[in-house]
């Protein structure tokens, strides 16, 4: 058996998330279906770096699987492309050591969230950008975003629905807000993320930009572990899992 590491991008619009679940189409289901076809009906289980929620996209999700097939490394991408729907594309595949684990070996992940704060819509970006027409103080938001940097307990920026046990301490190594044309791009990189963490961080920045919250909201919420101090949870469709580092 050989272990294959794959990097996949997908448009999450038509999926109920990455991970297989009883009801609803998922990205994992489509990937495993394609691999099952290649393996003549044999079930092949994939292990991903983590799951993404309904509507969330990926530019650099990573997964691994074990195979008994003698497929040349450079043939996997083409073979999977012919079996996958057009909104899922495995863009890289390579053989790795059997000890490699797509989930447990992750060092950092990078997410990006896109917001269109102007009145006019862009119909071609409606599935990948959150349209939120408001008058925003961008400089205030760019000052506030820096407060996410460092190691903190992010309980306040985690959905109350989370089932995670244990501490919620995470380290954010990059946090910035850029203006790209008529859109805002929030980039955040860290050693781990809680359920809905990036979307709540984005919602908090938007409320600061609108004047609903002050800049000191972020350090207060972090210190008090108070979800009510943080902002709203933005929709999933503006979010991308951008890169996974090992």
Annotated catalytic residues are: 53
What SS3 class is residue 154? coil
Residue 111 annotated as binding site: yes
Query: H-helix or E-strand containing 243?
Result: strand 239-245
Q: Tell me if 36 sits within 8 A of 79, measured CB to CB.
A: no
Provide the b/e sequence for 209-225 (b: ≥16 CB within 10 Å): bbeebeeebbeebbeee
Q: Tell me if 241 sits within 8 A of 56, measured CB to CB.
A: yes
What SS3 class is residue 168? coil
Residue 15: CB atoms within 10 A of its CB come to 24
What SS3 class is residue 211? coil
Q: Which residues contact 104 (CB under 8 A, 6 or more apart)?
A: none
Tell me the C-alpha distance between 40 and 46, whole Å.
16
Q: Which residues contact 217 (CB under 8 A, 6 or more apart)?
A: 144, 204, 207, 208, 229, 230, 231
The CA dihedral of 20, 24, 29, 34, to the nearest 10 degrees, is 180
| Binding-site annotation, residues | 111
| Binding-site annotation, residues for substrate | 111
């Amino acid at each position: 058996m050989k272990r294959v590491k794959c990097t996949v991008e997908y448009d999450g619009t038509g999926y109920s998330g990455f991970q297989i679940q009883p009801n609803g189409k998922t990205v994992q289901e489509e990937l495993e279906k394609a691999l099952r076809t290649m393996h003549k009906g044999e079930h092949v289980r994939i292990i991903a770096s983590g799951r993404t929620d309904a509507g969330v996209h990926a530019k650099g999700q990573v997964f691994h699987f074990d195979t008994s097939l003698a497929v040349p490394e450079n043939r996997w991408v083409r073979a999977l492309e012919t079996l996958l729907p057009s909104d899922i594309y495995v863009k890289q595949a390579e053989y790795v050591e059997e000890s490699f684990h797509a989930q447990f070996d992750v060092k950092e992940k990078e997410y990006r969230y896109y917001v269109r704060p102007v009145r006019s819509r862009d119909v071609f970006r409606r599935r990948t950008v959150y349209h939120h027409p408001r008058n925003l103080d961008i400089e205030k938001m760019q000052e506030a975003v820096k407060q996410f940097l460092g190691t903190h307990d992010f309980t306040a920026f985690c959905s109350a629905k989370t089932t995670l046990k244990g501490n919620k301490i995470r380290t954010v190594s990059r946090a910035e807000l850029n203006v790209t044309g008529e859109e805002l791009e929030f980039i955040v990189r860290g050693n781990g993320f809680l359920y809905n963490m990036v979307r709540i961080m984005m919602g908090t920045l938007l409320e600061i930009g609108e004047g609903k919250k002050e800049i000191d909201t972020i350090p207060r919420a972090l210190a008090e572990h108070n979800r009510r101090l943080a902002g709203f949870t933005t929709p999933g469709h503006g979010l991308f899992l951008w890169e996974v580092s090992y």
